[in-house]
Chain A
Amino acid sequence: AQSVAQPEDQVNVAEGNPLTVKCTYSVSGNPYLFWYVQYPNRGLQFLLKYITGDNLVKGSYGFEAEFNKSQTSFHLKKPSALVSDSALYFCAVRRERDDKIIFGKGTRLHILP
């Protein structure tokens, strides 16, 4: 069955340190992978996506993500965290054959000053 897993409910990182938010997926066919961010009292905002091509994808606000087909992962990364990066992050996969969208449960990222 298709699924997306975000194994960490919460990630705490000190400001200025690198951050990683993990995502693994399980879908049949070619996966289209996305990261979204949700700030308090706001809707989700698109950060970046992987469709095909280079495994390292760069997105908004200095975020990037690495697609790893053998490990079926799409981890979100940033070299130097900011307090303003504190938010809820969602990984999502769009299955090619029927465009069904599957979201992970979200990871709350806390950047500590």
Chain B
Amino acid sequence: EAQVTQNPRYLITVTGKKLTVTCSQNMNHEYMSWYRQDPGLGLRQIYYSMNVEVTDKGDVPEGYKVSRKEKRNFPLILESPSPNQTSLYFCASSPRVSGPSNEQFFGPGTRLTVL
């Protein structure tokens, strides 16, 4: 089944404790992206990647890191989480970057609480 998977789905942690949220897609998509969803603010893009070893900042990259060593994986790293990073996080992928734009496929979300 074609899908985007995220782990963990739920995470409660404490300020300053490094964490990684994994994202994997099995559709051979070039483009991958991370978003956070907050009430009243909608979806905001954190980082995106157009291909392996190519990553770029979105609108709210502060406090986050990403890497794209393999095409299928795009982990989101919080080196020192803070309470303002409490949010619902979504990973997404789409087939291509250039040419006609393609819709994104979203993972199920990761609800992160930082105490």
Contacts and interface: CB of A to CB of B under 8 A. Distances in A.
Determine the main DSSP class of B at the interface with A.
Answer: strand
B90 interface: yes
A94 B101 contact: yes
Interface string B22-44: 00000000010101000011111
Contacts of A6: 42
B40 A34 contact: no
A113 interface: no
B106 A49 contact: no
B50 interface: yes
Q: What interface size band does chain A fall in?
A: 20 to 34
Nearest to A47: B103
B103 A103 contact: no
A13 to B, nearest CB: 21
A46 B100 CA distance: 16
Nearest to B107: A43
B42 A101 contact: no
B106 to A, nearest CB: 4
Nearest to A9: B40
Contacts of B103: 34, 46, 49
A99 B31 contact: yes
B64 to A, nearest CB: 16
B106 A45 contact: yes
B109 interface: yes
Contacts of A112: none
A42 B4 CA distance: 12
A50 to B, nearest CB: 10
Interface of B: 4, 31, 33, 35, 40-45, 48, 50, 58, 90, 92, 97, 100-101, 103-109
Nearest first, the 4 A-B pairs at minimum CB distance are: A105-B42, A43-B106, A46-B103, A32-B101
